[in-house]
Structure 1
Amino acid sequence: MKTTIDNEQEPILMTPDKNFLLKGMEPVHYLIERISDSNYVIHRQLENGEYLYYRKRSSELFDHNGKLFLSSIENAKTLEQAQELVLSYWQTIKSFH
């Protein structure tokens, strides 16, 4: 299992807005890691119980500040694009509730 993000810059943790929490939904958090000026990698925090599914693929997991993340679920060319992708994930979740 990867233990940390191998980057000098602190990644950006994206958390859901209050609208989700008010509706009783709590979508997962995402980390956006800047690899270079044109490469941003999105990582997804594992929810409770998901570790059992991913434990055999532990090379795809890493710890960040005591939380487990699934590594590299998506790449984007800009920070704005990465943030838009995360927002679209949350909007998809919201549309099912």
Structure 2
Amino acid sequence: MSIAYLRQFKVAGYAVFDFAASFIGVFLLSPFLSGLARRAGWQVPRMNWVYMTLPLGIAAHLASGNITPMTRDFIDPHGHYLVKAVVIGFFILGLRNIRRNNK
């Protein structure tokens, strides 16, 4: 079974495998990421990292110049409003409950 085979299954033009791999990967890394944030003086709940998967992914793709279909749809000023709403909604959910540690 190849990556090309796994990526052929799509919903609304987006590969389901990419979403699953991203969300599962961030979920597994979230304890480590929350620990790093704690060392930096921030309290970030683990679930917030999962919510930030799409917004951070789009930002990383824009920064690297790798324009994926979702990145292209997000920066398109003339449509794809549902994609924009979902990404912005996840961004807002990802920022909730983040606190600065009092020292």
**TM-score normalised to structure 1 length:** 0.29
Flag the structure with larger Rg: 2
The structure with the greater share of residues assigned to helix is 2
**TM-score normalised to structure 2 length:** 0.28
